[in-house]
């Protein structure tokens, strides 16, 4: 028995010696990559790989419950002005109301009157309880934030239009809600439209913790991203944000008619 054990030990030492290069190289490379990952050096490459994986996904069918009404350069040339007048905006919303949408998202800043037709727009706002407007919560570099239409804010029909950009200027994360300067919670436009629609479908948001940063929506559970989730390392902390994939799964359920247009002279999105 002793001779047999000695023979096995000799063979094992020979094999270890033969593969010594691999046994040293593999752990060294793995350890080095792990250190680079923890230091954030590989973050950009991981995010680029994530972008490519999204591009390679099969094209998803268009959801017939969602309609986007956009305004592009050709529309602005036809109107002959920008921003459009309140009369034109009121007319457009009225036409949409005739289709009886479950909810309408107005993705245009309208904190100031644009005559003619401001009273017409006020009348439309007053008679459209399923209309959700927007405001800026995060202040710009000059310290300014665009307010919501006063009447819609008074009626609590307002959402946030802020986007969260990564360091390379791309949008990979979507905010669900933000805290305003007066410590008030406000949902972002996509989330507000989705919750509005799903609530009337009998799917209600169920908070899972006292802070309400974790909640259940049907069979899905939503939790805030942590600093080192996914390809991120030391990600800046903003309350209640979710990954782009989760946000898409949430927003895809919203049967909404939405405007998406130039805001205060910015380029059309």
Are 258 and 69 a contacting pair, CB within 8 Å? yes
Are 104 and 255 a contacting pair, CB within 8 Å? no
* Buried/exposed code over 15-32 (b: 16+ C-beta within 10 A; e: otherwise): eeeeeeeeeeeeeeeeee
> In the chain, what percentage of residues exceed pLDDT 90?
32
Q: Residue 7 corresponds to which tokens in the numbers above?
A: 């023979």
| pLDDT tier for residue 237 given thresholds of 50, 70 and 90 | low
Q: Is the pLDDT of residue 255 over 50?
A: no
Q: Average pLDDT, whole number, for the chain?
A: 79
The whole-angstrom separation of Cα 261 and Cα 202 is: 31
Q: What is the pLDDT of residue 33?
A: 72
As a whole number, mean pLDDT of residues 233-260 equals: 42
As a whole number, mean pLDDT of residues 99-121 equals: 94
Model-level pTM? 0.74
| pLDDT tier for residue 141 given thresholds of 50, 70 and 90 | low
């Amino acid at each position: 028995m002793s001779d047999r054990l000695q023979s096995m030990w000799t063979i094992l030492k020979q094999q270890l010696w033969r593969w010594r290069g691999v046994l040293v190289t593999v752990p060294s490379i793995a350890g080095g990559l792990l250190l680079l990952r923890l230091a954030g050096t590989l973050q950009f490459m991981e995010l680029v790989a994530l972008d490519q994986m999204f591009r390679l996904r099969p094209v998803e069918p268009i959801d017939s419950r969602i309609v986007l009404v956009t305004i592009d350069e050709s529309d602005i040339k036809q109107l002959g002005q920008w921003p459009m007048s309140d009369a034109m905006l009121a007319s457009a919303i009225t036409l949409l109301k005739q289709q009886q949408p479950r909810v309408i998202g107005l993705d245009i800043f309208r904190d100031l009157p644009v005559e003619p037709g401001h009273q017409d727009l006020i009348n439309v706002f007053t008679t459209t309880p399923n209309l959700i407007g927007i405001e800026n919560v995060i202040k710009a570099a000059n310290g300014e934030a665009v307010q919501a239409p006063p009447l819609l804010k008074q009626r609590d029909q307002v959402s946030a239009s802020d986007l969260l950009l990564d360091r390379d200027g791309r949008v990979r994360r979507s905010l669900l809600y933000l805290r305003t300067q007066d410590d008030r919670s406000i949902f972002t436009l996509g989330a507000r439209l989705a919750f509005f629609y799903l609530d009337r479908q009998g799917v209600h948001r169920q908070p899972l913790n006292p802070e309400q940063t974790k909640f259940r929506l049907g069979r899905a559970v939503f939790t805030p991203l942590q600093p080192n989730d996914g390809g991120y390392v030391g990600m800046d902390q903003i309350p209640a944000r979710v990954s782009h994939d989760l946000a898409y799964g949430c927003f895809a359920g919203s049967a909404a008619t939405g405007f998406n247009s130039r805001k205060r002279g910015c380029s059309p999105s």
